[in-house]
Amino acid sequence: MNEVVFLFDVDNTLIDNDRVQGELRAYLADHFGEAASNRYTAIFEQLRSELGYADYLGALERYRVEAMHDPRVLRMANWLVDYPFADRLFPGAIEAVRHVQRWGRTVILSDGDAVFQPRKVHRSGLWHVFHDDVLIYIHKEQELDDVERLYPARHYVLVDDKLRILHEVKQIWGPRVTTVFPRQGHYAHDPKILADYPPADITIERIGDLPSIPRDRLLPSAALGAAAHHHDRPWG
């Protein structure tokens, strides 16, 4: 039983995924034309609505069916797989994770496919920073029982750019979780989303601001004493 487990989302929480998507669209437009870029984007968004997560390689497979006789399509996969995700970490992201590792275990809790999302986590260096504690689901908010089984804790801190996820997890775990909302990425600035869900327990403008949050705001009093034992000692 861990006293405290910090759960971190990946896309637009630790990695600037909006920028990755923008660069992908630009790459497709430059190398394959605007029509190809627009078609891939449409397939990508359709697939995301079907699956509930971003499936870059799945969208590429569907696009390939439509462009089977264009050998240039094969280069798109290399661009995706070899993308330098370490260069797209938000400023202060690694420092924020290491800061809270003094107080408890840190775990990646992400949605995604079984190939590209793990590749992204590995290429960015996050897999190493999180000491191999990585969970990737299809709908993570529906997998909290599994999270508790693998990483049992008296208290959780969830850091995620999606208010919907934070709200749904809060509905299930209640006072056992502190929700932290970094206002990064397009979801975090969507007026409709902001109006549809209550605010998180803590809102920060960027992930790099996490170390500025006092420990007693992140952790309830019951967890503070235990977390003090890990002060200045990285969890590994």
- Residues 92-151 have pLDDT tens digits of 999 999 999 999 999 999 999 888 999 999 999 999 999 999 999 999 999 999 999 999
User: What residues have CB less than 8 Å from 25, skipping those under 6 apart?
Assistant: 37, 41
pLDDT at 191: 92
Domains of the chain (ranges plus CATH)?
Answer: 2-16+89-228 (3.40.50.1000), 17-85 (1.10.286.50)
Q: Report how far residue 82's alpha carbon sits from residue 149's, in angstroms, rounded to the nearest whole number.
A: 34
Of 170, 120, 155, 134, give the one whose Cα is nearest residue 3.
155
Contact 17, 53 (CB under 8 A): no
pLDDT band at residue 227 under the 50/70/90 scheme: low
The average pLDDT across 191-212 equals 95
Q: Report how far residue 109's alpha carbon sits from residue 134's, in angstroms, rounded to the nearest whole number.
A: 7
